[in-house]
Structure 1
Amino acid sequence: MDTYQEIKQGERGAWISIAAYLLLSALKLISGYLFHSSALLADGFNNVTDIIASTAILVGLRISRKPPDSDHAYGHFRAETVAVLVASFIMATVGIQVLIETGRGLFEGKKTAPDPLSAVVALVSAAGMLGVYLYNRRLAKRINNQALMATAKDSLSDAFVSIGAAVGIFGAQFGLPWLDTVAAIGVGLLICWTAWGIFKDATHRLTDGFDENELHDFRSSIARIPGVEALKDVKARVHGNHVLVDVVIEVDPELSVTESHEISDRIEERMSERHNVMSVHVHVEPKQEEAVPLVTARKDR
């Protein structure tokens, strides 16, 4: 499948997330106010941030579809990673706000227990978020799209947030009304934790970080290719949903240019077939003969 078509499919997952968040945030906020549930209100505000974050990711996916131009020779694929980074900041901001507001309510000593119906709303929302998570996770894996995978992870955390809110609301029915507020604080903490994980992954990619185990697999595959006498260097970085690999190999200095080029082709084919890497730059050097140390014999007199 063409890369740009894959990104277009990723946009469909983002639209599904936005639609789900619009519906659920409205349901939770209205129910939270009507049923006096701090946990459900916090969960609703969490979904409001998810709308903004998913919209940012959708914009990033749209930009990443733009073809290469004069000052973007590698294309615009990193726009989706930047969008993920922006989404993490939005999530963290709202998570901190939820902690401040619910913490204030806890110290004010609110004692009104929320209506049990708010717990039902939370559980229904959790089921909906799990469905969105499974759909986007499957799609993200199929098209290898990290922005959509971040959206899927966020949906999973939202499902756990809603379950936690329901637990707090049910607990408040047994003479512990403050437990609803504690659950809301837990929601805020989980929002911040999810934001941190997404931020960490996005910055790692933007600073050309790459998984060491995967790089080791690349080295092993290339080293076993016939004609590769030595593997001097292998570097890899992530560019949107692409992996770019730079390889420096040594070959027999007696090989012709054509034979060396054939070895490079085999490297590209193996990286594509085994690791789904479509962009490999191979630099070929003649193998250096090991220097033979000079031995000077000295006769004892």
Structure 2
Amino acid sequence: MGRYERLREGEKGAWLSIATYLGLAGVKLTIGYMFFSQALIADGYNNAADIVVSIAVLIGLRISQKPPDRDHPYGHFRAESIAALLAAFIIMVVGFQVLWGAGTSLFGETRTESPNLIAAWVAIGAAAIMFAVSWYNKRLAKKINSQGLLAVSKDNRVDAFVSVGAFIGIIAAYFHLGWVDSLAALIIGLVICYTAWHIFRDAAHSLSDGFHEEDLTPYRATIEELEHVHGLKMIRARKLGSSIHADVVIEVEPHLSVEDSHEIATQIENNLKNEHEIDHTNVHVEPKRKK
């Protein structure tokens, strides 16, 4: 399965998340307002914000499928990162809104009414659904090697735990501890803001050509195990969405012909692509230095 086919396959997970979040957000907000649960309302807004994330990933997957053109010779793979960056700002606004509502309810003069147990069952049912969606998206992400969809699966799992937290808060509030429900909403608001920061940090790191040094270790091993590579002078990489591009400088015996050196470079490109899903590698060959 090629890169573009994998991107199209990943759309299934994004659409599943969007449909699930739409349904859960509507149910949670409706039940939350009807039965006075700040935690369930906050969880509903959390799911509403996650719709933005899933749509951003879907749009990114769609744009990333566009082939290279004159203005984008490396393709459009960074569309995923740009969409995620915009989504992070929207999610942060939602997080602040939830924090404001929870803080006003928790520290204001008017205490929160004890919610109905219906809100609790909605929360725990939603948690079970999100665990299932997370499991599906994680399997699909590993199958097609999609970093964007893997991030969605992690977000799904976090949402499941948030719903578990909302369930605990609602149960406690039912037993005349109304402030616990508001406290749970406050914690959920913090989780939303943390999720926004996490998405922003990863997207900004990718867009600024950041690449973790430890991630280069397996690439080095693949190159250095080749027989005719006598030295690896430099290797660096950068992410373009879910695609990785690498630059490599190796040393070979000075007596090798241009054709032989080219064959070694081609072998490095193929090995990195087959073993590590690196779509493009630029290999520079230099003669081995005399000691």
Structures share fold, TM-score greater than 0.5: yes
**Cα distance in 1 between the residues matched to 2:199 and 2:39:** 23
Moved more, 97-106 or 135-144: 135-144
**Cα distance in 1 between the residues matched to 2:58 and 2:120:** 31
Judge conservation of contact 1:133–1:155 (CA < 8 Å) in 2.
Answer: yes
**Cα distance in 1 between the residues matched to 2:268 and 2:126:** 48
Judge conservation of contact 1:84–1:198 (CA < 8 Å) in 2.
Answer: yes
Q: Which amino acid aligns with 1:209?
A: G
Segments of structure 2 that go 5 or more residues without pairing to the other structure are: none
**Equivalent residue, structure 2, for 1:8:** 8
Judge conservation of contact 1:264–1:282 (CA < 8 Å) in 2.
Answer: yes
Residue 188 of structure 1 deviates from its aligned partner by 0.4
**Equivalent residue, structure 1, for 2:121:** 120
Q: Which amino acid aligns with 2:132?
A: G
**Equivalent residue, structure 2, for 1:158:** 159
Judge conservation of contact 2:112–2:182 (CA < 8 Å) in 1.
Answer: no
Q: Which amino acid aligns with 2:56?
A: A
Find the residue that maps to 2:194 and give its secondary structure.
Answer: helix
Judge conservation of contact 1:53–1:86 (CA < 8 Å) in 2.
Answer: no
Q: Which amino acid aligns with 2:176?
A: G
Q: Which amino acid aligns with 2:268?
A: I
**Cα distance in 1 between the residues matched to 2:214 and 2:107:** 48
**Equivalent residue, structure 2, for 1:294:** none
Find the residue that maps to 1:46 and give its secondary structure.
Answer: helix
**Backbone CA RMSD of aligned residues:** 1.3
Find the residue that maps to 1:226 and give its secondary structure.
Answer: coil
Q: CA offsets per residue over residues 215-237 of structure 1, 9 Å max, x none?
A: 12211221221111221111111
Q: Which amino acid aligns with 2:207?
A: L
**Cα distance in 1 between the residues matched to 2:148 and 2:86:** 11
The aligned runs of 1:130-169 (5 Å cut-off) are 130-169=131-170
2:38 is equivalent to residue 42 of structure 1: no
**Cα distance in 2 between the residues matched to 1:129 and 1:214:** 30
Distance 1:111 1:232, change over 3 A: closer
Find the residue that maps to 1:284 and give its secondary structure.
Answer: strand
Instruction: Name which one, 1 or 2, has greater alpha-carbon Rg.
Output: 1
Q: Which amino acid aligns with 1:219?
A: R
2:226 is equivalent to residue 235 of structure 1: no
Q: CA offsets per residue over residues 148-193 of structure 1, 9 Å max, x none?
A: 1222121111111111111001001222111110010011011111
Q: CA offsets per residue over residues 183-214 of structure 1, 9 Å max, x none?
A: 10011011111222222111111111112222
The aligned runs of 1:1-301 (5 Å cut-off) are 1-108=1-108, 109-290=110-291
Distance 1:129 1:241, change over 3 A: same
Residue 139 of structure 1 deviates from its aligned partner by 1.1
Residue 112 of structure 1 deviates from its aligned partner by 1.4
Residue 16 of structure 1 deviates from its aligned partner by 0.7
Q: CA offsets per residue over residues 95-138 of structure 1, 9 Å max, x none?
A: 11100111011122314100011000000011111111111111
Residue 24 of structure 1 deviates from its aligned partner by 0.5
Judge conservation of contact 1:56–1:83 (CA < 8 Å) in 2.
Answer: yes
Find the residue that maps to 1:235 and give its secondary structure.
Answer: strand
Moved more, 36-45 or 108-117: 108-117
Q: Which amino acid aligns with 1:256?
A: S
Judge conservation of contact 1:53–1:90 (CA < 8 Å) in 2.
Answer: no
Aligned length: 290
**Cα distance in 1 between the residues matched to 2:199 and 2:151:** 7
Residue 29 of structure 1 deviates from its aligned partner by 0.8
**Cα distance in 2 between the residues matched to 1:66 and 1:266:** 28
Moved more, 260-269 or 1-10: 260-269
Q: Which amino acid aligns with 1:225?
A: L
Moved over 4 A (4+): none
Find the residue that maps to 1:121 and give its secondary structure.
Answer: helix
Q: Which amino acid aligns with 1:194?
A: T
**Cα distance in 2 between the residues matched to 1:261 and 1:57:** 38
**Cα distance in 2 between the residues matched to 1:150 and 1:85:** 13
Judge conservation of contact 1:57–1:87 (CA < 8 Å) in 2.
Answer: no
Residue 273 of structure 1 deviates from its aligned partner by 3.1
Q: Percent same amino acid among aligned pairs?
A: 51
**Structure 1-normalised TM-score?**
0.93
